[in-house]
Amino acid sequence: MTPDPSGVGADELPESDPSQAPDLDAGPRSREPAAGGGTREESGGEVTGRWWQGAVLYQVYVRSFQDGDGDGSGDLVGLRARLDYLAGLGVDGIWLSPTMPSPDTDWGYDVSDYLGVHPELGTLDDLDALVADAAARGIRVLLDLVPNHTSDRHPWFVEAVDDPSSPRRTYYVWADPAPGGGPPNNWRDATGAPAWTLEPRSGQYYLHNFLPTQPDLNWWSPAVHAEFEAILRYWMDRGIAGFRIDVAHGLYKDAALRDDPPLGPGDRPRPGGLRQVYSANRPETHGVYRDWRYLADAYRPPRVLLGETFVTDVEDLARFYGNDDELHLAFNFPFALGDFDATTLARGVDQTMTTLPEGACPTWTASNHDILRFPSRWCAGEPRRVRAALAVLLSLPGTVVLYYGDEIGMTDVDVPPERQRDPMTWRGQGGGPNRDRARTPLPWTGEPGGGFTNSGVEPWLPLGDQRLNVADQADRPDSVLSLTRELVSLRRRHHRGKVLPYHLLEQRGNSWRFTVGPLEVHANLGDAPLATRPLTSLVLSSDPTRATRPSSSTGLGRGGRGGSAGPDAAGTDRTGPDKLEAWEVVIGLRG
């Protein structure tokens, strides 16, 4: 293996000391819900209670993070070897892309066993060791849970097909052909094809809102509820800190199988041209999360439920929090998929903060394995824009989720057709860009293999431009990685364990000024310099030239990690600038 920039390789990982690990895996001790926001234990400063409030979570696409066995694909052993890097970044938790056994027709989102570990990624012992070692570093581990559908090779579905009289048949959505033949209704799957496949032996169709290899579960069946409660308990009892819930908005389907209506003028485009009114987004789904919330809150510390709530407006998003009794966190896709300009972002944040119910913790992200990478989608790979986006994102109240590589400004990779691996978007299927471009291996170094795998081994997806890598940024004070570390450190100091109040000061043109708790943020999201009101006490700037320039108006340099307020040791004033450079964000302490 090439050298590990974090200083720890897979073959020299220290044994974890369970006596030094925070108690992150205690089972349920009470049926009473966890109270209030986050608190700190008497020793160690560990946040308990709602530990995710103000936290930074980090999505690890396991196959592309670190190859631990030299086969060209990432795995749990490789991830375990990189925990010191993640601890140095300052993240509070990691969400692992699917780790459960799967035929991989949708790369883990087609689960064939909810209680195991994919053999290509490791073993259950490997996962237990990862959880223990992460806990020793104050990092919690979340798994990806897929409750909307299974693999067609899951024993439940195999039995349902082989024996239509089996109780497992009720686990899935079956329907007779429409009068005159053909699918039961007009529903379309994520590729735009009919969402129904005929099972010839029974003459019935089964539903799949994604690929035909991913049959949808029938949440009208009480047995499905019981199965998933057992699944949640199994992993929570093993010390898993919570779950990112795939297709969280989609569990229930209309019992009458009514046709979906066509997309309206304000709807986001979708393959098939239909709005999912009846094939997803049903109100009964909220009852599932009330049950799961009761279960998750019974653990100490409570386990967290993070939903992939792929809805198009904040009002729909807010419903998934319930009356502080459903999801703890819900991804804000209206924000993530909005344009990267001051007007759109400010409007989205303000609407979110005023619409979410009392006690709700907003959840912000800009990249993931489906929506591609923000350095490409928002910033066209331009470093100043990337730095500005990170500064804004990591200043927002609530929980922030980074996607692996965000911290170095990693961009999408143009994967040639012959190397593409994603059936859902293979060669333009589904009407969108191929998702493989945002799932390529993280370049740790510029050497052959990129520090991801051994030299001479072909990685499962091609490496991108290795001039952008972790090792080259690790010790450079002007790098995107150094800025990310500073922003996370600032966030841990001021946000951790709570949801800070947000207040819009001004949004005009490319200017966006707001406060979050004790911090004041001024952003110029445009190509020209912009006059601004000086901050009383500058903490940091996204502009590396300002941060290293010894002027009384430049504020904290990169050498002053953590950002002290007021004069420095030499008496230099730390007041902020009266002009922001293009794509510059400055953060200060309120006077």
Q: Within 10 A of 177 (CB to CB), how many other CB atoms are there?
A: 14
CA dist 496 and 267 (Å) reads 36
| Nearest alpha-carbon partner for 206 in 248, 142, 154 | 154
Catalytic entry in 104, 260, 308, 486: 308
CA dist 380 and 412 (Å) reads 10
Kind and range of the H or E element at 314?
helix 314-319
What's the order of all strands across the beta sheet hosting 242-245? 329-330, 304-307, 242-245, 140-145, 93-96, 56-60, 399-403, 363-365
CA distances from 234 to 74, 115, 116, 227, 346 (A): 25, 8, 10, 11, 41
* 199 in catalytic set: no
| Nearest alpha-carbon partner for 404 in 48, 31, 11, 95 | 95
Catalytic entry in 110, 144, 246, 436: 246
CA distances from 303 to 129, 172, 263, 395 (A): 19, 28, 37, 25
Non-local (6+) Cβ contacts of 158 within 8 A are 152
What's the order of all strands across the beta sheet hosting 196-199? 174-175, 204-207, 196-199
Q: DSSP letter for 533, please.
A: P
Contact 579, 554 (CB under 8 A): no
Altogether, the residues listed in the chain come to a count of 591
* 246 in catalytic set: yes
CA distances from 403 to 62, 65, 103 (A): 11, 11, 24
SS3 506: strand
Catalytic positions are: 246, 308
